[in-house]
Amino acid sequence: MTTTTSDTRVYLVGGGIASLAAAVFLIRDAGLHGENIRILEELPVVGGALDGTGDPGRGFVARGGRMLEEEAYVCLWDLLETIPTLTDPDKTVKDEVWEFSRKWSSHAGARLIDRDHKILDAADLGLDLRDKAELVRLLALPEHVIGARRIDEFFSDHFFATNFWAMWRTTFAFQNWHSAIELKRYMLRFAQELPRIHTPAGVRRTRLHQYDSIVRPIQQWLADRGVVTEHGTTVTDADFTGDAVSGRRITALRVVRDGRPGTYELGEHDYAFLTLGSMTADAAYGADDRAPELIRDKRDGAFRLWEAIARKAPDFGRPNTFCGRTPRRHPLRALQHRRGAGHHPGQPQHRCHMGRRRPPGVPGADLVGARGDGRVLRRLRRAAGALGPPGRTSRTGAHGGGLMTGNMTAAPVGGLVATPLSAACADVLAQAEHACIGVGPFNSYFSVGRIRQIAQWAYERFAQVDFFVPDGPSAYTLQALGYPPERAEWKARRQGQ
Ligand SMILES: Cc1cc2nc3c(=O)[nH]c(=O)nc-3n(C[C@H](O)[C@H](O)[C@H](O)COP(=O)(O)OP(=O)(O)OC[C@H]3O[C@@H](n4cnc5c(N)ncnc54)[C@H](O)[C@@H]3O)c2cc1C
């Protein structure tokens, strides 16, 4: 920040920890006036993914807890060193967390339990020489060589059965099909956790949940210095001058406030920091008797803003990589719903869809047949059944079509390669919004196994998957082959029975 003036205004889009921290550093380290900083947040609460909500009557929900540890969270501790707790102005949030963690350190006595409920010796990581060599190879490879490859492309089966992998993946929420680069980055960042991952003694805990212990004190510190947080404001677009080479500058932020459009014009010495995308965009809550709504249409602003600016210049990246490519991007979490002061076993579990895509195992992928109960549709059902628990079946009477909702598993799929025929096809494939798969009646290619393979491939990558079974129209094909019309219709119908 070399060109700030006393009038410099700063707009922070989003009220997550990124913006809150930026506001603190702008005041503390860059000397900006708090009154000149404005946080634009679409939700009625700040904190973003570090959320916490509820009251003693309805219960409290927090979507997750960051596993804070000493060595990797250098910026966070630097930030929290500045912020006093809400209860004791002489104590910083950092001191409170460290004090609390010293008193209540993590020491799991049963980090891994096997199928027979036996506690395993988790201190034994179980890595053999080959596993270690594969790990070292991944760590040594430069990112441009690793590219878009997945974790399971770098390790053999033994690695995935080790105690190490069971603990690492559950500590850091990895799936075998996640990005290998991401794993490498995490391993480099959290290597110091290895000797204590089985307890996990390195994790620092906050006294209250992280919204109350971290977000609220920062919010108070900022409010005391005049920072304005504007809730109910969604930033929908940004205007730029310049280009990637000469440098870009934001000249205006387009917003929607309480349903009405508005604009913030930025002067030459003003700045805007945008949070693009969010892990918790379009999160929805469910309960024991109610599934969380699956939100497909990007109601939150996080990804829509990114998409809007990405349309203007390719170097703004590809939001679709994070919000559109695969149903697997949509995690489902079961959360403890705490009521009153304490938590008791048996209280309602809250389920929460986060991110933008359907989680594995959640109903909603549609298999559409031209007829309700045909052979092909039965094959589709068997294939869908093999992908997960049985789905619901309903009929769309007006068209005589059947709609079957299948479930899916997270098992890796091999053997299928999609080859786009043109650049336009490649584009559509990359967007991965909707796959329509035609299943030909009378075509032995479409065995249950094959349909399952295609379905798994499609469910892994696309937000929505539909199967079309044109059994009715195949009567005409049969007629063209010489069948009398009535016989052709009967045969086509039979294929659909
Ligand atoms: C369950 C869970 C567990 C996690 N565990 C860990 C962990 O152990 N360790 C770790 O380091 N990290 C962890 N994380 C990740 C960490 O919480 C996030 O990376 C971090 O909180 C992101 O902060 P952020 O400010 O960048 O974005 P967010 O917290 O996503 O905040 C973005 C905010 O901006 C608002 N917003 C977005 N777009 C717009 C717009 N166009 N207009 C107006 N407002 C907008 C959103 O409403 C939101 O409030 C976890 C996350 C979750 C969900």
Residue 124 has pLDDT above 90, yes or no: yes
Which residue, by CA, sits nearest to atom 53 of ligand 1?
A: 49
What is residue 357's predicted lDDT score, i.e. its pLDDT?
35
Q: Judge if the beta carbon of residue 214 lies within 6 A of ligand 1.
A: no
Work out the pLDDT band at 16, boundaries 50, 70, 90: very high
How far does the centroid of ligand 1 lie from the alpha carbon of residue 277, in Å? Answer: 8
Domain limits of the chain?
10-102+207-275, 129-201, 365-495
Q: Judge if the beta carbon of residue 12 lies within 6 A of ligand 1.
A: no
Nearest to 437 by CA among 459, 421, 417: 459
Residue 32 has pLDDT above 60, yes or no: yes
Mean pLDDT of the chain: 80
Q: What is the Cα–Cα distance from 168 to 130, expressed in whole angstroms? A: 18
Q: Judge if the beta carbon of residue 16 lies within 6 A of ligand 1.
A: yes
And the tokens for 50? Answer: 């570090």
How far does the centroid of ligand 1 lie from the alpha carbon of residue 276, in Å? Answer: 10
Q: Does domain 10-102+207-275 have CATH number 1.20.5.440?
A: no
What is residue 404's predicted lDDT score, i.e. its pLDDT?
24
How far does the centroid of ligand 1 lie from the alpha carbon of residue 62, in Å? Answer: 13
Q: Judge if the beta carbon of residue 203 lies within 6 A of ligand 1.
A: no
Q: Judge if the beta carbon of residue 337 lies within 6 A of ligand 1.
A: no
159-173, 196-210, 412-426: the lowest-pLDDT one: 412-426
Nearest to 150 by CA among 414, 330, 362, 358: 414
Which residue, by CA, sits nearest to atom 12 of ligand 1?
A: 66
* 277 against 462, higher pLDDT: 277
Q: Judge if the beta carbon of residue 196 lies within 6 A of ligand 1.
A: no
- The type of residue at 139 is L
Are the CB atoms for 273 and 22 separated by under 8 Å? yes
Cβ-Cβ contacts under 8 Å for 398 (sequence gap 6 or more):
none
pTM score: 0.71
First to last CA, the chain: 71
How far does the centroid of ligand 1 lie from the alpha carbon of residue 324, in Å? Answer: 18
Q: List the alpha helices (DSSP H) in 254-396.
A: 301-310, 320-323, 375-387
Which residue, by CA, sits nearest to atom 52 of ligand 1?
A: 64
Instruction: Ligand 1, residue 49: give the atom nearest the CA.
Output: 29
* 240 against 376, higher pLDDT: 240
Sign of the torsion angle spanned by Cα atoms 264, 268, 269, 271: positive
